[in-house]
Structure 1
Amino acid sequence: MRRTWGLWGTAVLGVATAVTLIVAHVMSERASVEGLETWGDIAFLDDYAENLGIVMGRARGHSSDPEAFARRVDGPGPDVEILKLSGATHEGGAEIVLRLRRHRPERQGWSWMPPGNADTYEISACYRWVFGAPDGREGPERLRKCPDNPVIHLGPPPVVPAIPGGFPDRLEADLRLLNAADRESESAVARTVRSTYGEAADAALDVPGTHPDEILNSNDVLAGDDWLVTVDNAIGIAIGQDRECVLGRVTAHEVRVWHPPRIALERGEIGCSASWAARGGEL
């Protein structure tokens, strides 16, 4: 009999523990979403956060900073507020914490009123994403409590200078006009590249609304002695900075100008390399 009561006691204790854990989980879930009226509100906000994560993820490959991810969803109105930005994708992960707000229609009896006819209530919660985390998990993670941080206002996006539009086609055309001897001459090829770049930059600046800061300066991208090299009788050209890059390969019988694959310009990859261009630029 004592053994039976002991087994019953253990079972009751196990059930009580399970119930306690379930209640704690339910309370935690409810506490994480302000303004909650139905359990469907949690799923609704979680889905919204999931979609925002997909949108932010599109910044991957273009920048490593958390601001770049947050800018994808930052906009007018209070629906999305930025509370934390830290780290970088190459430094353990770019962390973003957002407070999300959405409005839901009040339920009328056993049915939902048509949109526009029902009163609404506001729900909100905070979510955390880490892009580039070592464990590969990005989020969203719904936080138990929003951090007590002031809202971060990003302001206008920074100007990222670019290679003038149409430059690759101009360059290939001008290099093809050189005779075979000049195509084997680094000085002749360099003169052509500098001249063509200057003309392309002037044409870009003639477009109304274009600011000089939006165009990469030729003194920056054509400086030094590594933007043009010769490897096995082929002259390689690499023009640009960071993820802005145009490559060229010139021989007595061939002229080719192209944009390298985006992946080759990521941190730790080949980069905008003239020697790589001379070898054909193949991955």
Structure 2
Amino acid sequence: MAVGRTARVWIIGTLVVSTIIAAAVVFVIMHLAGERSSVAGSRDLDDVAALDAYAEELGLVMIRNRRPDPAAYARRVDGPGPDVETLELSDPPDTVAPAVVLRIRQQRQERIGWISGQYEEYEISACYRWTFTGMEDYKPDRLEECPEVDVIELGPPPVVPELPDGFGDVLSESLTSLSDAERRVPETVVAAVRSAYTEAVDDALDEPGADPAGILSSDDVLAGDDWVETIDEVIGLAVGRGRSCVLARVTADDVAVWHPDRISLEPGEVGCSASSAAYKGDE
């Protein structure tokens, strides 16, 4: 009887211990699962924050672009490598302002193994839309889904022709060489400008590696008569196009030639204007 009672006690004790161990194992498993779930949720939030911060950095780079052209905005950040891809480019009237959609990728690390301390890399990505209406447009809208479109290959930027280097100096020398009487005659001044421009273009094309497509021709800047304005015996000259511009103010007694500041050449400002050159004082 004593032996039977001892056996029963041993069996009961074994069952109790087994139950406690099983409960402990279940608790540990659930605890680890909860920790992993919490870590995964935290990781997701960190991934979103990382991409959002990177998108704002890209926006700060893009808003420095001076041309209101969506491709020009995207080209500032879409370089070699897969971390930035251009998916959409929009321009008025399709949108209220130039807009760009980019897919952004980043490589991140996650710790694997609770003791080993090893890490594995994984990729995160999202798409964002920037609409450029002003200087505060560096913060984009995060899209719920990326557009199902092919990646746009931007290629090299187009060549934007400009005035030949040194034209301002050549023009100043040409106008200064005229006599006081000659500077009173608009036709004589116009002829001097045309001659100076031809000389400056020829000099620029003589430079090694010169690209004719990168130089504004005389037909581009001296066609018509809107580049010359006479106001009260003051002849104003505006030679150029867009942000490549040389202004001059000619009187019988004086010649002034200058490059206008960038702000005045921005869209909506005075621009490359012959009348503004004529009104300019002796600065």
Q: Same fold (TM over 0.5)?
A: yes
After TM superposition, give the deviation of residue 177 of structure 1 in Å.
1.8
Say yes or no: does 1:54 pair with 2:54.
no
SS in 2 for 1:194: helix
Identity %: 54
Say yes or no: does 1:226 pair with 2:230.
no
- Does the Cα contact within 8 Å between 2:106 and 2:124 map onto a contact in 1? yes
| Coordinate RMSD, CA, aligned | 2.7
Report which of the two structures shows the higher radius of gyration computed on alpha carbons. Answer: 2
Distance 1:41 1:136, change over 3 A: closer
After TM superposition, give the deviation of residue 264 of structure 1 in Å.
2.6
1:274 maps to a residue whose letter is: A
Instruction: Find the aligned partners of 1:208 and 1:136 in 2 and give their Cα distance.
Output: 42
Instruction: Find the aligned partners of 1:39 and 1:156 in 2 and give their Cα distance.
Output: 37
Instruction: Find the aligned partners of 1:84 and 1:90 in 2 and give their Cα distance.
Output: 12
After TM superposition, give the deviation of residue 139 of structure 1 in Å.
2.6
Structure 2 partner of 1:87: 91
After TM superposition, give the deviation of residue 227 of structure 1 in Å.
1.1
1:175 maps to a residue whose letter is: L
The one of the two structures with greater contact order (alpha-carbon pairs below 8 A, sep at least 6) is: 1
2:214 maps to a residue whose letter is: E
Distance 1:77 1:199, change over 3 A: same
SS in 2 for 1:128: strand
**Gaps in structure 1 of 5+ consecutive residues:** 1-29, 31-35
After TM superposition, give the deviation of residue 221 of structure 1 in Å.
0.6
Instruction: Find the aligned partners of 2:73 and 2:273 in 1 and give their Cα distance.
Output: 28
- Does the Cα contact within 8 Å between 1:89 and 1:132 map onto a contact in 2? no
Instruction: Find the aligned partners of 1:211 and 1:93 in 2 and give their Cα distance.
Output: 33
After TM superposition, give the deviation of residue 106 of structure 1 in Å.
2.9
Instruction: Find the aligned partners of 1:66 and 1:265 in 2 and give their Cα distance.
Output: 20
Instruction: Find the aligned partners of 2:68 and 2:94 in 1 and give their Cα distance.
Output: 7
Structure 1 partner of 2:67: 63
- Does the Cα contact within 8 Å between 2:56 and 2:138 map onto a contact in 1? no
After TM superposition, give the deviation of residue 257 of structure 1 in Å.
1.0
Structure 2 partner of 1:122: 123
Please report the TM-score for the alignment, with normalisation by the length of structure 2. Answer: 0.77
Structure 1 partner of 2:5: none
After TM superposition, give the deviation of residue 132 of structure 1 in Å.
1.1
Instruction: Find the aligned partners of 1:260 and 1:205 in 2 and give their Cα distance.
Output: 25
1:191 maps to a residue whose letter is: A
Distance 1:206 1:118, change over 3 A: farther
After TM superposition, give the deviation of residue 99 of structure 1 in Å.
0.2
- Does the Cα contact within 8 Å between 2:181 and 2:252 map onto a contact in 1? yes
Structure 2 partner of 1:132: 133
After superposition, where does 1:1-283 map in structure 2 within 5 Å? 37-59=43-65, 62-88=66-92, 92-107=96-111, 119-132=120-133, 137=137, 139-280=139-280
Distance 1:90 1:218, change over 3 A: farther
Instruction: Find the aligned partners of 1:91 and 1:176 in 2 and give their Cα distance.
Output: 49
After TM superposition, give the deviation of residue 90 of structure 1 in Å.
11
After TM superposition, give the deviation of residue 145 of structure 1 in Å.
1.2
**Gaps in structure 2 of 5+ consecutive residues:** 1-40
1:46 maps to a residue whose letter is: D
After TM superposition, give the deviation of residue 107 of structure 1 in Å.
2.8
- Does the Cα contact within 8 Å between 1:229 and 1:235 map onto a contact in 2? yes
- Name whichever of 261-270 and 75-84 sits farther off: 261-270
- Does the Cα contact within 8 Å between 1:87 and 1:93 map onto a contact in 2? yes
Structure 2 partner of 1:10: none
SS in 2 for 1:203: helix
Please report the TM-score for the alignment, with normalisation by the length of structure 1. Answer: 0.77
- Does the Cα contact within 8 Å between 2:205 and 2:211 map onto a contact in 1? yes
Instruction: Find the aligned partners of 1:281 and 1:160 in 2 and give their Cα distance.
Output: 31
CA distances 1:135-172 after superposition (whole Å, capped 9, x unpaired): 96553111111111211111221111000111112211
